[in-house]
Amino acid sequence: MSVYTTLTLKEVQDFAAPYGLEVIDLIPIQGGIQNTNYFLVAQDGSQFVLTIFEEMDEQGAGELVPVLEHLGQQGLAVPVPLNHAGKAIHTLKDKPAQIAPRLMGQHPMPSNIEQVKAIAVAQAKIHVALKDFPLERAEYRNHDYWLNVAKGIKPTLNPADTVLLNSLLGLYDALTVMYPNRPKGFIHSDLFRDNTLFDGDQLNGILDFYELNKDELLFDIAITINDFCTEYPDVHLNEAKATAFLESYETVRPLTSDEKACLELYLAMAAGRFWMMRLQVAQKNAEQGRTGDDILQKNPLEMRNMLVERLKFVTA
C-alpha cells in the first residue's frame, strides 16, 4: 500500500464518476508494500479506498472480487468492491484499479485478548467459507514458491544467515513427512494487525486479500499468531494470547493432530517466509530505485529475530 502511482484529484474524479461518486479529496495511504492506495472522500462525506494494482493484470486483480463478495455474504467484515458497467476492475494510468468502501476502525497496536479471539474466529470462518470455493489463481505461493525465493536470496546472505535458513528448511522437510495430515485451502496469507480494523473489541474490517493463496491452513494460523500474539519490539510469543487464539479458532474448525504437532515449526516457517519476503522487497526496491517517504520498506531483521526465537521450541 505504498504510493507507487501518483494521481491528481482530477484523475481520480474522472475515474470515480462512473461509479456515481463525486470525489472532493484524496489522501495517499502509506503502509504495506504491494499496491498503491488512496482514501477517497466523497461530496456526501462517505469514504472509499482506491487501489491501483501495481503487479497484477486486470484478470488477476478481478479474481478476488467474487471471493470478497462471497465472504461478505457469509457475514465477514471485508471490503466488497463497487461495480459499474458490470465489473469492479477498471483501468487507471494503464493499470487495473478498483474502488471499495472504506471500513472504519483502528489497527490493534497492541492487540488484547478479546481482539485475538475475534480475529481467530474470523480467520477460521474464512477457511471454512473458502474450502470449496471455485477459484484458480495464476500463481500459488506454496512451499515450492518459497523455496525458489530462498534460492534467489541465499547468495546475498552472510554465512550465519545461510546456516539459519538451511536449518529451518531441513526441519520443515523432516517434520512434514512425519505429520502429513495438514489440510489445505484458500488462506489470507497476510493477516497481520495492520490488515485489520477494530472498534474496541469489535472486528470491523479484514483488509488486503491480494495475497490470497491456496496453501496449508496452518500457515495462515501461524502468520496471524506471530503478529497478534507478539509484543513488538520484543519477538517473544505471548503464550496467553496464543492459547486464546487457538481455543477460539477451534470453536469453528478443529485442528488436526498433525497440525497441532507442526504448529511450533510453522510459527518459525511463517517468520522465515516474511524474512525472505522483506529481503526480496528490499532487493527489488534497490534495483528499481524506489525510494522516498511514500515507499514503505519493512525491516527484515525483525522477522529474522522472530525466526531465531521460534526455532528454540522446534524439535525434529
- Dump pLDDT digits (tens) for 215-250: 999 999 999 999 999 998 899 999 999 999 999 999
Average pLDDT over residues 149-165: 91
Q: For a pLDDT cut of 90, what percent of the chain falls above it?
A: 73
| Predicted pLDDT of residue 295 | 47
CATH code, domain carrying 48: 3.30.200.20
Q: Assess if residue 240 is contained within a domain.
A: yes
CATH code, domain carrying 283: 3.90.1200.10
Asked if residues 209 and 188 have their Cβ atoms less than 8 Å apart, the reply is yes
Q: For a pLDDT cut of 70, what percent of the chain falls above it?
A: 93
Each residue's pLDDT tens digit, 177-193? 999 999 999 999 999 99
| Predicted pLDDT of residue 124 | 98
Q: Assess if residue 118 is contained within a domain.
A: yes
Cα 147 from chain centroid?
19
Asked if residues 279 and 289 have their Cβ atoms less than 8 Å apart, the reply is no
Closest CA to 28 of 293, 300, 303: 293
Decide which of 78, 101, 124 is a domain's last residue: 101
Count up the domains in the chain and report the number. Answer: 2
Decide which of 46, 72, 101 is a domain's last residue: 101
pLDDT above 60 for 49: yes
Regarding whether 78 and 188 lie in a shared domain, the answer is no
| Predicted pLDDT of residue 297 | 57
Kindly indicate the confidence band of residue 1, based on its pLDDT and cuts at 50, 70 and 90: very low
Q: At what angle do helices 64-73 and 113-129 cross, to 10 degrees?
A: 110
Cα separation of 150 and 148, whole Å? 5
Cα separation of 64 and 44, whole Å? 28
Cα separation of 106 and 104, whole Å? 7
Regarding whether 210 and 238 lie in a shared domain, the answer is yes
* Enclosing domain of residue 36: 9-101
Per-residue HEC secondary structure of the chain comes to CCCCCCCCHHHHHHHHHHHCCCEEEEEECCCCCCCEEEEEEECCCCEEEEEECCCCCHHHHHCHHHHHHHHHHCCCCCCCCCCECCECCEEECCEEEEEEECCCCECCCCCCHHHHHHHHHHHHHHHHHCCCCCCCCCCCCCHHHHHHHHHHHHHHCCHHHHHHHHHHHHHHHHHHHHCCCCCEEEECCCCCHHHEEEECCEEEEECCCCCCEEEEHHHHHHHHHHHHCECCCCCCECHHHHHHHHHHHCCCCCCCHHHHHHHHHHHHHHHHHHHHHHHHHHHHHHHHCCCCCCCCCCCHHHHHHHHHHHHCCCCC
Per the confidence metrics, is the pTM higher than 0.85?
yes
Regarding whether 120 and 68 lie in a shared domain, the answer is no
Number of C-beta neighbours around residue 207 at 10 A: 25
Each residue's pLDDT tens digit, 102-136? 999 999 999 999 999 999 999 999 999 999 899 88
Average pLDDT over residues 10-18: 96
Question: What is the average pLDDT value for the chain, to the nearest integer?
Answer: 91
pLDDT above 90 for 60: no
Encoded amino acid at 60, one letter: G
Average pLDDT over residues 202-213: 92
